Amino acid sequence: MSNRAFTVAAAQFPVFSPDSWDEVEALVTRWVADAAAQGAQLLVFPEYGAMSLAHLDAATRSDLHGQIAAMQVHREAWRALHARLAVAHGVTILAGSFPWWLDDGRYVNRAFLCLPKGEIEHQDKCVMTRFEREQWNISSAAPLKVFDTALGKLAVLICYDSEFPLLARAACAAGAEVLLVPSCTDTLAGYYRVKVGAQARALENQCYVVQSPIVGEAAWSPAVDVNIGAAGVYGPPDRGFPDDGVIALGPLNEPRWLYAEIDPAKVAEVREHGAVRPFRHWPESDGWPVERR
């Protein structure tokens, strides 16, 4: 576990309409450079932050299924771009997730964690939304991972995953101190579901939760045509944290970085000496008998 505080940057990253790979590379490079210049050591991009790449193929950009097949030609460049920027700036980057084709013919929703010494890890989304499973044919994938980094122990719950307490509990029971929640929601209600889930997971597990949404509109895209959200950094409403648990909250739908300080040592402190101990007391709620009257 790291005992050093650091700055996290959570992106309110815009969907956009690039006409060349160079435009994509220039935008991502500028965003990373801006965050690094502000002292951020952990940069979090949103769920489906890669979907703007679908605009590069005019023939398939309006085809819900064809677009993700066409995007595969750019996938190694997308991964390599973030890995290169992580090394160049000495930062850890959670890249915007990508609909990644597997050898067995399935697509998964994959987010790459790029570390400052060049290592590349990934997390696939665990639980699919109705749109992903019923219309888009994106598949779930295991396992849920905990990454032991120089900044502390991180886990990634991609959007809808944050709404399931047992996923966060499993990650935190395995050591996670910071949960990263890249998100993509097309309604205000959807944004609030993820936000409420993120705050609840911070309360239950007495940890930090960082949410990063994609924002803006892309009428050409059947997948990310409307995107609503605000970045947020949350903690347990307990000693050493804000009374409402909100460490930082961005303005709705505005492309920008949101910055906040994360101190992993506070997680151990609040879990041990908090006014309440939900993380430690969780097992007491397991198997509680229910009487039907």
In a domain, 231, yes or no: yes
pLDDT value at position 287?
Answer: 87
pLDDT value at 93 more than 80: yes
Q: How confident is the model at residue 178 (pLDDT cuts 50, 70, 90)?
A: very high
pLDDT value at 1 more than 90: no
In a domain, 292, yes or no: no
pLDDT value at position 46?
Answer: 99
pLDDT value at 3 more than 80: no
In a domain, 266, yes or no: yes
The model's pLDDT over 203-253, given as tens digits with 9 standing for 90+, comes to 999 999 999 999 999 999 999 999 999 999 999 999 999 999 999 999 999
What pTM was estimated for this model as a whole?
0.98
pLDDT value at 151 more than 70: yes
In a domain, 284, yes or no: no
The model's pLDDT over 19-53, given as tens digits with 9 standing for 90+, comes to 999 999 999 999 999 999 999 999 999 999 999 99
In a domain, 287, yes or no: no
Question: What gap in Å lies between CA 152 and CA 175, rounded to an integer?
Answer: 9
Range of the domain at 59: 6-274
The model's pLDDT over 187-204, given as tens digits with 9 standing for 90+, comes to 999 999 999 999 999 999
Q: How many domains does the chain have?
A: 1
Q: How confident is the model at residue 171 (pLDDT cuts 50, 70, 90)?
A: very high
In a domain, 289, yes or no: no
pLDDT value at position 2?
Answer: 61
- For residues 161 and 167, the answer to whether their CB atoms sit within 8 Å is yes
The model's pLDDT over 117-139, given as tens digits with 9 standing for 90+, comes to 999 999 999 999 999 999 999 99
In a domain, 61, yes or no: yes
Summary mean pLDDT of the chain: 97
In a domain, 1, yes or no: no
CATH of the domain at 188: 3.60.110.10
